Structure 1
Amino acid sequence: MSKMGSYLKKHTEALVKDVGIEAACKLTGKSKATLGRYYSDHDEHADRFMPVDAVMALEEAASYPHVTGALAELQGIGLTFDGKRRNTKERANVNSDVIVLSQRFALLMAEYQQSIEDGVITINEAKRLLRETSQLQQVLIDMKLHLEEEAI
């Protein structure tokens, strides 16, 4: 399987798990087995990807557009995600964003320090680092939106 295909399948899996497998089945009208095939890395499923309408239905329910973000990254495109995210309080201005940015960066560095202590970053540690990096990215997106609002 190509690196691109593997990357998309990992983000498809993240999307399904973000929504929850049962909810994903209801939203897409697909079975658990079918959804599993969309993110399976087995050779017999290498050319099987989730249809765009199913991605759209799931991303509408998800906390982040995982597959759309992955597609954009693969094409070198930046996205602005301004949807309301769960567990995120509204920040009123750029000053608040700078504080949250500093806090998130400190969390990322703490996670990195803990992960690299033994000289090896395990898959679970990499997932935690990726999660922290994504949270940091969200803060930067919020900051960008607030800067754009102030520039108008």
Structure 2
Amino acid sequence: MATIGSYLKKHTEALVKDVGIEPACELTGKSKATLGRYYSDHDEHADRFMPIDSVARLEEASSYPHVTAALAELKGITLSFDRERRNSKPSGGVNADVIALSQRFAILMAEYQQSIEDGIITANEAKRLLKETVALQQVLIDMKLHLEDETV
């Protein structure tokens, strides 16, 4: 449970920092100190977690659903997160998806090559790799949806 707790606290911190501490205080009605306790790794705060209604408010304002994604990952569930609304971008179909897939994979491999050059993948490098992996996953989801459309 300690590993799960620290994992959730890390993602809670990312959520608060994504929104910004001042806006997070306004959205949740919590003080800076209280928000800090929710993601503190000190022993006295080990059993304190952000209430789910506060998480929902912050994730509505954030660029990414950090805590929801973390919970899904802990359960082995893959979420599909699309910043753009499905009907807001032109559809290129499967052929465009294949091209986008190869481009994204090339970007991921370039990031990996650059990250592993010194034999160590730093936290920032891991974040860049994760960002590219999520982008690649989104292309695969788009491709899956296009293929499903073609089979109907």
Fold-level similarity (TM above 0.5): yes
- Offset from partner CA, 1:49-79 (integer Å, 9 cap, x none): 1110011111112222221111111112232
Aligned counterpart, 1:49: 49
Cα distance in structure 2, aligned partners of 1:137 and 1:12: 23
The CA deviation at 1:91 is: 4.6
Give the share of equivalent positions with the same residue, in percent: 79
Question: Which runs of no fewer than 5 residues in structure 1 stay unpaired?
Answer: none
The CA deviation at 1:146 is: 3.4
Query: After superposition, where does 1:111-126 map in structure 2 within 5 Å?
Result: 111-126=111-126
The CA deviation at 1:23 is: 2.0
Cα distance in structure 2, aligned partners of 1:110 and 1:119: 15
The amino acid that maps onto 2:122 is T
How many residues are treated as equivalent by the alignment?
149
Q: What is the TM-score when the length of structure 2 is the normalising length? A: 0.83
Question: Which runs of no fewer than 5 residues in structure 2 stay unpaired?
Answer: none
Aligned counterpart, 1:136: 136
Deviates more, 1:124-133 or 1:76-85: 76-85
Aligned counterpart, 2:39: 39
SS at match of 1:56: helix
- Offset from partner CA, 1:76-118 (integer Å, 9 cap, x none): 2232335537xxx725133322222222221111111111111
Query: After superposition, where does 1:65-144 map in structure 2 within 5 Å?
Result: 65-82=65-82, 84=84, 90-92=89-91, 93-144=93-144
- TM-aligned CA distance change 1:31 to 1:116, over 3 Å: same
Cα distance in structure 2, aligned partners of 1:13 and 1:151: 43
Cα distance in structure 1, aligned partners of 2:94 and 2:62: 26
CA-based RMSD of the aligned residues comes to 2.2
Q: What is the TM-score when the length of structure 1 is the normalising length? A: 0.83
